[in-house]
Structure 1
Amino acid sequence: MKSLRRMELLTISLLMIVLTLITIILFYIQGKERTPIDHRSPETTSESYETKQYAYSEESEDQVKEPANPYFPNDLAVPLTSDQGRIKDQISFAIHSIRKTSILIHTNEGEKTFSTPPQNNSMILEAFGSINLSTAKADIPEPSNEEIIYIRFHAEDVVYSVAYDLNSNTYLLGGQRYYAAYNTIVYMNLFCRPSTILATLGEMRMADMETEDPSEYVLNKSAHYKANELKVQNQNFAEWDDQIKGDPKYIQKMHFYSIWEDKIKTILVDEKNGVLFTGLSVFFTNSEVETADGISIGSSTYDVVSRLGEPSKMTKSRWSYQVDEKHYLHLYIKDKRVQYMSLSFL
């Protein structure tokens, strides 16, 4: 009786071993037949994007499958993981992996593309990545199709495209529009609409970028100026601020997301008189405006030094005169003459 019981147990054990071996062999065969995943391929990135980008969206399946850029069908949409917080914290790729940026402009007259200069690539990326999606939402009508712009971010083996509207200064991300930063609107005007007055802000911003490295400054700490001599049209920054905010001439308004203040701000423009106001700076582009000592656009650098003295801060493209601890008169220099001027706060 005991030997019969022992034989039954042995038989059961052998059956379990055989079943286990069969299971292992089946898993091995199934694994060999499966196609390996290449995590570097655009197809894999695209699939990952569709999963992440629309995790918070109520888009239909047809909309999900639309290409990010119909003119470059292989481009991918920027893979956001949420519609809250800074863009650079919501994307699955690293900002530093982007090697260059290019712009595609499509109008009724045709298409043109250009690559941005290498020195401006980091500026565009930083302006894009620093947008706070929670703050920068733009509730505006969809723009017309008369001019379509795509900003394309080129990584090593994939390109990401973002639809951008220059008239409203907004990106389209995940079916929602967001205001772009100040650097973006002036840069895009400079390269896409060089004849506009906003493009002059782009020129000045490019000059400003050269002064952001303290090592580029030539400082004159001993310089002292009379505040009245640094007014423009007999007004300082605060007086211009009060005038512009209550003046109906400034009817052209462009909104932008302020990275520094984390809120939406407005550029006010007096096209006729060549004055632009950003909230922190008043820019002058018309030769008729002048300082108390007669320095105006077109004045030579010799005249500037003769009448105002040596600037307190100086680069090859911008001379700065410090009015007080928080205010400056800036003169933008080109070919040894004043090209533009501004009064600024900080």
Structure 2
Amino acid sequence: MVASRCRNVLLTGAMVVGIGLGAAQAVVAAPLVLATTGMVGDTVERLGDECIDVEVLMGPGVDPHLFQASASDVRAFQQAELIVYNGFGLEGQLDNVLTRVGERRPTLALAEAAAAEGPLERIQGTGGYAVDPHLWMDAGLWAQGVAPLAGMLTDIAPGCAEAINDRADTLHEQLQALDEWIRARIASIPEAQRALLTAHDAFRYYGRAYGIEVEGIQGISTSAEASVADIQATADLIAERGIPAIFVETTINPRTVEAVLAAARERSAEVSIGGSIYGDALGEPGTLADSLIGMLIHNTAAITGALGGTMAPLPPVLAPWRGSLDAQPARGD
């Protein structure tokens, strides 16, 4: 089942007026682009806008590591003129489908395109992953995928090439500004408390880019439960460092985090849940986190507030997200 669908129609016909025939308008459907995750789909939509029709397979709260395609999803793959996915194994059980469909349809692994010239987080012996697939957590690195994506979109919508490239320039500028804003906010957290503890290991790129230690109770994938040893080791870290908060991810059952809280409190540690943050999926429509940029702003605001940092206004180029950030409830509300 398709999780969300953005229906945009490109009107390419002209009014044709004939004597006694009235007027008619030809309407041609925009080319269909199928995106796997919300982060990928949001990036596609920001470039394509009215020039394309975007389908996103995995909506808010859907864990891509565990997603299984339905028959209707497979049909959507077959109908799309372009398929854009994350890559590096994030889509897990969809890999075989993507390989087969990619033999007959244009495809783009957006994270792999973004990382073509960037450093990767390589992993050994963690859920079968060779590379950490969560590249969107580094706004500056993700920005490197904008130009390759724009090129693929102009191939299927050549009449919109100028508009797509203009929007690509804007999105690249926004991601670079966001990158700088996040770095400054994380740097405002006292060094001893600059540790991000989450349910699973989705934030390595965020930690590397923005100078915060990251510890996931689970590994890269969510297909296996955290062990008792994992829980105890995280509780030890909280107690030793005096880390004030641990975070719940929206796509993961919070029981693992709750077990860590209980174990930390047994060690007399003063720790609380710092709020919900977004790892593998965007937020619900109408929330700050319903876009890739908004998700990273939400996460950074939650992390900064819970760990003792200071907030600052968003830069002018990120003005579209200012109102939503200001409307977010403060921690503890």
User: Normalising to structure 2: TM-score of the pair?
Assistant: 0.22
Structure number with higher relative contact order (C-alpha < 8 Å, ≥ 6 residues apart): 2
- Tell me which protein shows more helix as a share of its residues: 2
Larger Rg: 1
